[in-house]
Amino acid sequence: MIYTVGRTQIYLDGFEVCCRLGEPMQKKGKAEDYPGGSVWETFEEAQKYATEGFSVFGVVADWENDTIPSEKGKDWHDLQRDANLIMVCPKCGNPSRWIQSGIPRWTIACRSCKEIISIP
């Protein structure tokens, strides 16, 4: 697994729609007019780019085979093919489901780090 950074609201809305349709949520890879989504090799590196309103998500792809160094960035790569996205714990980066919980809007009860995290 590799990682991406996305606007929390948009990504979570996307997961909700895909869930309802029974389809995987995907990160867009290289296309004719698009270099491919930005991805990072480690959770810690991606986290540095997850400023307020943004979160880290897992990308089911391979750093060596599915990405190439970005022309624009120093420490991220461009995803070369569409790949499934998964929710990860905002603290430890392990796969963890975000539960929509009203206010605060999402709650993540991580089985790996045992933290319960609320995202407004």
Note the residues at the interface with Zn ion (CB under 5 A). Answer: 89, 91-92, 110, 112-113
Report yes or no: 18 and 10 within 8 Å, Cβ to Cβ. no
| Residues β-bridged to residue 84 | 26
Cβ-based nearer residue to Zn ion, 79 or 108? 108
CB nearer to Zn ion: give 29 or 90. 90
Give the separation between CA 75 and CA 58, rounded to whole angstroms: 17
Which residue number, 81 or 91, has a Cβ lying nearer to Zn ion? 91
Instruction: Pick the closer one to Zn ion by CB: 76 or 98.
Output: 98
DSSP state of 45: H
CB of 89 to Zn ion, least distance (A): 3
> How many angstroms separate the most distant Cα atoms in the chain?
43
Contact 56, 4 (CB under 8 A): yes
